[in-house]
Structure 1
């Protein structure tokens, strides 16, 4: 799956966090954003944060997400948002159309293998 954009943007990161988002409930999505913001406040120079969205959690990466402004703000601070394209393909089969994605989200083939890859690179996996 390659090197993450977050790691490229901060090659000296020592605080590695992957946030799992597999829930469409707004309170869970907000909690993921709040967790990312908290880590950035504590370790602004040394954090590498990647949000991995799959299953119902991919909604946070939709272009029309009600949390789009907060997502874009975190992306501007080098937080990476990965969207599971397997989930997007499933949505396409079920609904007949592909949702418009935030163009700043990183497309990954699968969410769970992405989390496993990140764990192997030393990222702490948190599911709020």
Structure 2
């Protein structure tokens, strides 16, 4: 009779090494957020917000509202991607908070860049308070790239 105990140990060792390698793979790889579920959307717009200028924030909000008025809300997917100074729109103390939350209630998605939040926290010692309606994405620009690769038109008001 053959002794397979050495063979079994080798197999277990290989699986064990593979499992450890999988666990050690960096978890912070930039993974875009899943795309919103609007399967019947005929128009897909990604709005980039990367400045803290209140006029640009108002413009992004205005563009989103105008798109909702111009198209059936079920036929248009709108995603605002905020990164860098643009995350200010999504801070809890922002004057436009109610407008943002109203847009979210109408199906507009607002993404906030986690890399930006991490950088602010590292530099100031405090993580900014962001509205709960914001969808965290690891890399704002990576999210824009993913959206454009999936049929979204990028607009930077």
**In 2, distance between residues paired with 1:66 and 1:11?**
33
**In 2, distance between residues paired with 1:23 and 1:2?**
21
TM-score normalised per structure 2: 0.77
Counterpart in the other structure of 1:37: 65
The superposition leaves residues 76-109 of structure 1 with CA deviations (integer Å, 9 ceiling, x where unpaired) of: 0010000000000010011110011101100000
Which of residues 111, 114, 118 in structure 1 aligns to 2:140? 111
TM-score normalised per structure 1: 0.94
Cα drift, residue 124 of structure 1? 0.3
Cα drift, residue 64 of structure 1? 1.3
Count of aligned pairs: 125
Counterpart in the other structure of 1:51: 80
1:20 pairs with 2:48: yes
**In 2, distance between residues paired with 1:16 and 1:54?**
20
Q: What's the Cα RMSD here?
A: 0.9
What residue ranges of structure 2 are gaps of 5+ in the alignment? 1-31
1:100 pairs with 2:129: yes
Which of residues 115, 132, 138 in structure 2 aligns to 1:86? 115
Larger Rg: 2
